[in-house]
Amino acid sequence: MSTQSIHYLKPAALRLPPGIPESPSRQRRHTLPASEFRCLTPEDAASVFEIEREAFISVSGTCPLYLDEIRHFLTLCPELSLGWFQEGRLIAFIIGSLWDEGRLTQESLTLHRPGGRTAHLHVLAVHRTFRQQGKGSVLLWRYLHHLGGHPAVRRAALMCEDMLVPFYERFGFYPVGPCAVTVGSLAFTELQCSLRGHSCLRRNSNC
C-alpha cells in the first residue's frame, strides 16, 4: 500500500469537553516516553486484534471485528482509524468506516461505502495496562476532531450497550433508538453525533 494513503496527525493541544478529566499521562507529559497518534495500517492489524480480543471476548464472548475484518477496513479506509502509540507500542485504537444510510444495519458491520457521509465507529478499545486512566476519552475526542477534517463526513454513528450510553453522550452523541443490529443475545442502542462542531475545531486549529 502506498505511504501516501497513511495519514499522520501532528500533535495538537486539544481541549477536552467540560467534565472529562485529562488522563494522568497527559498531566505528566514531561515524564512520558514518545507518544504518537496516527491512522492505522494493515500491518497494525495483529496488535489491534490482540487488544480487542482481550477486551471483548472475556466480557461478551465475541469481538466487534475479527482479524480478517480488521485488515479489510484498514486496507479500504485507513483514514477512518486512529491508533495511540507509546514508544512504538499500540495502546488504544478506534476503527471506523463510511456508511450511507440513516441508521446502522447488519450490513454496516462489514461494509465500507465510500460515498457515505456517516462514519460508523466499529470499535474503541484500550490495552488492559492503560485502562482507567482516561485514555479512551482522549482518543475519542481526538478521533472526532480528526473526522472533522473530512468535509464529506457529516456525522458519526455507533452502537453500544445501555451502560455505555452516558460515556458517549459526554462527546455529543445522542441516542436515536434501539439498534437494528443484534449479536447473539446482546441488544444495543444506536447513537449519532454531528461533526459540525468538530469541523469548526479543525478549521480553527494549527494542526
Nearest of 65, 74, 68, 64 to residue 43 by alpha carbon? 74
97 annotated active-site: yes
Cα 180 versus chain centre, distance: 21
- Residue 201 annotated to the active site: no
Q: Of 124, 140, 147, 201, which one is the catalytic site residue? A: 124
Active-site option among 168, 198, 199, 201: 168
- Concerning whether 122 is annotated as a catalytic residue, the answer is yes
Catalytic residue among 97, 108, 137, 199: 97
- Per DSSP, the residues of the chain read --GGG--BPPP--PPPPTT-PPPHHHHTGGG---EEEE---GGGHHHHHHHHHHHHHHHHSS-SS-HHHHHHHHHH-GGGEEEEEETTEEEEEEEEEEE-SSS--GGGGT---TT-SEEEEEEEEE-GGGTTSSHHHHHHHHHHHHHTT-TT--EEEEEE-GGGHHHHHTTT-EEEEEEEEEETTEEEEEEEEE-HHHHHHHHTS--
* Selected catalytic residue, list 72, 122, 145, 198: 122
Residue tagged active-site, from 67, 76, 111, 164: 111
CB-count burial class (<10 Å; 0-12, 13-18, 19+) for 206? exposed
Q: 174 catalytic, yes or no?
A: no
Catalytic positions: 97, 111, 122, 124, 168
